[in-house]
Structure 1
Amino acid sequence: MPDRVLSLADAAVGAVLLGSGAVAWTGRRRSHVGLLMAMAGACWFLGSVFPGLVFLHRGPLVHLHLSYPIGRLHRRPAAVVVLVAYVAAVYEGFVRTPWLTVGLSALVVVAALDVFARTSGPARRAGRSALAAALVFAGVLALGSANVLLEWGADRAVVLVYDAAVCLVVIWLTVDLLYGRWSEATVSDLVTQLGRRTDTAGLQAQLARALGDPGLTLGYWVPWQHAYVDETGRRLEVDGRTTGRVTTAVENDGEPVAVLIHDPSVLDDPKLVDGATAALRLAVTNARMRAEVRARTAGVAASRRRIVEAADAQRRALEAELATGAQRHLAQAGLHLAALEAEAGDELRAVLPEVRAEVATALRELAQFAQGVRPQSLTAGGLGAALPLLAGRAGLPVAVAVGVGRLPPPVEAAAYFVCAEALTNVAKHAAATSATVEVVAEAGDVVVRVTDDGRGGADTQGSGLRGIADRVEALGGSITVGGGAAGGTLLMARIPAEGAGSDGDRERGAPYEDRDRGRLDADPRRLGAAARGGRLRGSGDR
């Protein structure tokens, strides 16, 4: 008699699993829950025929509880637990290991709580049934293991409790799936996934899974073409009547956004369709907004770069005009005065030295002004010629190492004025006895390092450093200020060589020759990105 009861209970559980799977699949084809129930039923009967597979049904049941009501796993911990359940089900059929079942039940509880804690809104309300079912199943697993480990001797009772729990849980989930909040949970899950996206790649596949239509086609509205296009950019024919499919238009404030071409059966669940189209509208709108922000950011960066390049071109023109104009005329005036002094009378000869001194002073001040605009040495010889002269005027010993050759004019100017401002700060505020200037090429960037052995600290908000940082950041670079390895201050500027080239240079892809280290190529694939965000950090106030 007891054997007959257990046999009837065993057959009843298998029938309930297969029947519930068929009902769930018929009522909710877009959910994989019915397939998992049917798989568990098939494994249940296989275990009755082949004793080594007696626990095989546990894998699909754990999968069911951790993926309900969608039938798909989205949490990595849950996926790991399901994999462990399938492996343990096969292993324990041949090697009886009660402690393995205890561990599996604990993992199921932890994974179920994790899935439930990560859901919100309608998905959380639907997840209550899944959490309760998972806890019940984990409980009966632990009960069976406890019966073996503690030697209770209640095998028959434990088996009947296990069978009853499996039947009740599966029937409960089937009813909840058909009459509960499955549609809301699906939409909530879809919105969560789409909310993480920054573009529309793969959006069609996600919608197809959510709506249960593998043949679903998604089209995007292109205003300038007045047509819908698919993910590959091909024009779509949205009249689905000729193919037996229907179209669902997605609009935003009366303007077309996208269109879904799908099977007519999708419309059997209006809540799911409405939720999916709302999620699609949100995803496409967000993608467009992000694209516009990226375009505007790139436009602002390009505009800043053009401003710096235009200002640098004006500096070069002004420096050239001073050199060929006012400075030349003053120099010639000095020569004329010297010649006049040799021929002048005593009265005039007494006045001419003062005039010559004034002319010399004006020439010297004009030369200093020209140095501030853009040094002639930088224009003529690049950083290798200009930085040693700059170091000679610093007022303290400065070691200079230039490991680059000629660079685009904006890059040379930015690097030069970084060094000039840094050495000015060192001389005025650092109380240093020496400094070092190094300019090298690293990974397509021009890197400027200025170090000193002073007391450290720097006023990062001062007008000098802030102005230099703006210039560097406009070229796509960055400036950092911190402590040196041996004390003092380290100022480092990193400037993308490609990002600062002239428009003509960038169009031609012209390389900039580096006499000492090969060359810095203007190819953007080999250089640092010009649009990387700049930053200015300081270690204190000087």
Structure 2
Amino acid sequence: MSTGASAPIRRSFNRALFVILCAGVLLNTALVALLPLHGPLGPVLALFPVNVLIYLGAGVLAWHYRPSNRMGALILLTGVWMLLGGLGNTDVAALAALGTIAGSMPLAGFVHLLLAFPAGRVRGAVARATVIAAYVTSLLLQVPRYLFAPDVAAPGLMIADVPAFEQWGGGVQEFVGFLVLTSTLIVLADRLRRSTAVERRVLVPLYGYGIVALVVLLFASRILGPVLGWAPTDVAALQLLVFCGVPIAFALGTLRGGVARTGELEELGVWLGEVGSVKPAIGAALARTLGDPTLEVWFWVPAREGYVDTEGVEVTSERQQAHRVVETVELDGRRIGAISCDIALMAEPGLVRTAGRVVAIALDRERLIAELLASSRALQSSRERLVEVADRERRRIAQDLHDGLQAQLVLLALEAQQIAHIGADEETVRERATELRKGIDAAASGLREVVYSVMPAALSQRGLSAAAEDLVDRVPVPTTLDLNVADNECSPVVESTAYFVVAEALANAIKHSRAGAIAVQLGRDGDVLHVEVRDNGDGGARVGRGFGLTGMVERVEALGGTVHIESPDGSGTTVRAEIPCGL
């Protein structure tokens, strides 16, 4: 789940966490009000509400970001035990009695946290027995301490003043507590032995702190007091300070550790199973899961033989930086996308591959959406460029007619008017009439050139083959033509597009590439018309440098075809176009 998800189940969960947070703050405020903080023990007692507040914040935070992980709930539960333990120091008899009964429960909660990390579930018979023994030790074996000895905080709990029973019960509790500690050490050592190197980077610091904290909590009063002469208040302050670090350590381990990342993959299953039309973006879900806010999801587009991002924008080579790793995602043997992330932030890079497999189906679905967006954007861009090409072509024709043919015709009209009014001899009139006729012929030739540039007569009257032959004949460079397509074999729009490809490729070879020889091939293979123009010029032709090649590519792609241009510098240019004929 994502913190920004608006699915109903997520909103309800967030509301529940908010209620827990508010209730915890209110109860902690009540604890602060009830504790005698102005007395000599005030600084030590103040550590109880501090602990409760830390446990509350760490538990809510861990549970919010890891909803399917129970560590957050266990941290909150241990905070409840700490709250109850703090009540034992109040002046309210009933609350003090409750606090006395639950005074050792934080220790049981601590053992539970250690053995339940990282998923919040206690696994293994020995571990479960150890946790049960910890709660029995803290709750049941605590009974003789307040039933058979006077307790200043809760005197109403004592049923008989039998010091022997109290000492016997205390001895049993300490012995069982030692067995719980030993069993905990054995379980944790075995887990470290079976863990991977990546897992140990998280487990060793956490387990090390946990074991030291357990020893301090269980035996500090037995060692620091008699041996080092510490006062009981000093020992209690140390124990409470050590306990403050417990929720922080476990919350950080749950949120950041590589072991937590393995458990966090379960969150992807929760994300995939969310009900509702609104879900967090798959990129955001993966970024949170793998702990890399810079993570990007790319989708493979077979037609382009490249990736696009979630917005349908083509992924360039510049975006694949050296410090990033790109993990390909496949589904049923098909490449459907990739996950790009910062390898420096990956505690275990193999988790990227695992996460990709978990979300492969969802990734394929979003790939189709991104491909549709890309196609829609490309279609819109293609339409805009086609309109631009058409407008530019119309402007060129209008400019040619205005600056060339129209001006020429005006001059010819003036010449004709002058011939009609001059009083020259017959020979002079004949010469000027001859010049006028030549001017009219030139104007007619110019008009034919304009018409030919718009739509060659051979193409409209006879077809593609005849038009291609006519075009090649006009080329001032030695050019060969290989025709394997009959006239009118394809629709007029296909033939005119193929003709435009040949014309533009020839123009590029003559004007820009300085070619010495050109070869043109036209042929049909099934429902596809193949056009190829090769020259031995300078090369270096690129789409986007001018309007000619760009307009050619746009016209072909508008019909569902493809254009490939190979033009290495100094090695000539080859233009290949494939245009569907079934139009």
Q: TM-score, normalised by structure 2?
A: 0.34
User: Which structure: larger Rg?
Assistant: 2
Q: TM-score, normalised by structure 1?
A: 0.36
